[in-house]
Amino acid sequence: MRLLHTSDWHLGRTLHREDLLPAQRAFLEHLVDTVRAERVDAVLVAGDVYDRAIPGLGAVELFDRVLRQLAELRVPVVLIAGNHDSARRLGIAARLIEQAGVHLRTEVARCGEPVLLADEHGPVAVYGVPYLEPALTRGELGAAAVSHAAVLEAAMGRVRADLATRPAGTRSVVLAHAFVVGGEASDSERDIAVGGVPSVPASVFDGVDYAALGHLHGSQVLRERLRYSGSPLAYSFSEADHRKSMWLVDLVPERELTARRIDCPVPRPLARLRGTLAELLADPALTRHQDAWVQAVITDPGRPERAMEQLRARFPHSLQLVFAPEDGGGDGLPSYAARTRGRSDADIALGFVRHVRGSDPDPGERLLLREAVEAAGSRGEGGRG
């Protein structure tokens, strides 16, 4: 059986306010083309379909469109809710649309209820385990503790119990949305540590033929049968070097498995540039980044005027500007309290200007600031009288 494993679409997400809906539309068209060209038997979506619990209309329309296209191809789809999704909203009408071959697994109660598929080699049981918030799901699952590891272990107990009732030779697939030990995170995943230690051991998935994971945005192989597909697009500059892809997985009898990566379309490369503004504007080696989405770290000792405007003259798609002078732009003291201890209000105000702008106020600005601070102090004293 041939499976296409994808996850973390985050429909509706932006990249530093850059609209990504056109790129997400291109990815979903690519997914449908891949299903058709590779003769895929089922599509697995391991959570975070949307970027937020209440998605925008454009994101919902994209989701509706891709489900209709896959239903028209008569290719089953199994989806789970991720930590960005609202499980209840995503699961609306789930039992109704199953008739079209779209299987939404958003309820904890259905962890042990597989989607049953079959090919010439026999049955395949596909279990969907949605994102499990420990404090909210411990009771229903009867988990031993309020932790990510405990609730996922309890859910997998239900999976194993059901699998034990299936005919011998039944192949098993689990979709899960979790942070598994050994995975490498990026800057664009939402922290799930609020439920305790966020990671779970890989051993929780022992015994299944394939675990299709979601949550981490980099494509990763933790074990031969335990993989993250990663997000189809880069959602932070920490993913500039990621190769975005999906896994095409073939399950054959005798627990054999083969998998290969299917690259996703790249709407625009990401580039992380660092140097003084003059260096970034003049370095001929940076010409290759002129069509990229750019994050520029400016190391000038003082904050240059119109820095973003100048950058965009050379790099029209610059999205983020970070000011990080090589000397750190500070006085080396460890805290705000230490930096302000023993200093007058006027000195603190002058220091703030220096910190924000990267250079000292000129004599005229110093005079104005001191007069303003003194005037404010006089009014305050008058008010207290």
pLDDT at 383: 47
Q: What is the pLDDT of residue 330?
A: 46
The CA dihedral of 231, 188, 155, 101, to the nearest 10 degrees, is -30
Question: Which tens digits make up the pLDDT trace of 266-318?
Answer: 999 999 999 999 999 999 999 999 999 999 999 999 889 999 999 999 999 99
Residue 9 pLDDT grade (very low, low, confident, very high; cuts 50, 70, 90): very high
Can you give the pLDDT at residue 355? 66
Both 127 and 238 in one domain: the answer is yes
CB 175 within 8 A of CB 215: no
Whether 97 and 157 share a structural domain: yes
Provide the pLDDT confidence category of residue 350 given band limits of 50, 70 and 90. Answer: confident
Q: pLDDT digit string (tens) for 315-329?
A: 999 999 999 998 654
- Contact, 93 vs 55, CB < 8 A? no
What average pLDDT score do residues 183-191 get? 86
Residue 66 shares a structural domain with residue 103: yes
My answer on whether 220 and 364 are in the same domain is no
Q: What is the average pLDDT across 338-367?
A: 73
Using CA atoms, how far apart are residues 19 and 36, in angstroms rounded to an integer? 28
Q: Which two tokens stand for residue 229?
A: 């597909």
385: three-class secondary structure by DSSP = coil
Residues 80, 334: Cα–Cα separation, whole Å: 46
Please indicate, yes or no, whether residues 259 and 278 belong to a single structural domain of this protein.
no
- Pairwise CA distance, residues 290 & 159, whole Å: 50
**pLDDT recorded at residue 384:** 42
CB atoms within 10 A of CB 113: 16
pLDDT digits (tens, 9 = 90+) for 34-72: 999 999 999 999 999 999 999 999 999 999 999 999 999
Tokens of 149: 């590891």
With CA atoms as reference, report the closest residue to 1 among 72, 98, 86, 78.
Answer: 78
Q: Quick check: helix, strand or coil at residue 241? A: coil
DSSP type of residue 303 = P
What mean pLDDT is predicted for residues 131-141?
A: 95
Do 60 and 44 share a structural domain?
yes
166, 286: one domain: no
User: Considering 242, 263, 284, which residue would you say is the last residue of a domain?
Assistant: 263
Give the domain CATH number at 31.
3.60.21.10
Q: Which of 201, 230, 263 is the last residue of a domain?
A: 263
Residues 110 and 165 in one domain: yes
What's the number of domains the chain is made of? Answer: 2
Q: Are residues 112 and 209 in the same domain?
A: yes
Residue finishing a domain among 263, 286, 316: 263
205-242: pLDDT as tens digits: 999 999 999 999 999 999 999 999 999 999 999 999 99
pLDDT for res 333: 44
Shared domain check, 292 and 251:
no
Give which of 200, 283, 240, 244 is closest to 7, Cα–Cα. 244
Band (pLDDT 50/70/90 cuts) for residue 339 is low
Helix (H) or strand (E) holding 7: none
Domain with 334, as residue range(s), is: 270-384
Distance CA 297, CA 281 (A): 13
SS3 content of the chain, % helix, strand, coil (to 5): 35, 25, 40
Same domain, 202 and 228: yes
Average pLDDT in the 130-136 region? 95
Are residues 222 and 345 both part of a single domain? no
Angle at 71 between CA 66 and CA 72, to 5 degrees: 100
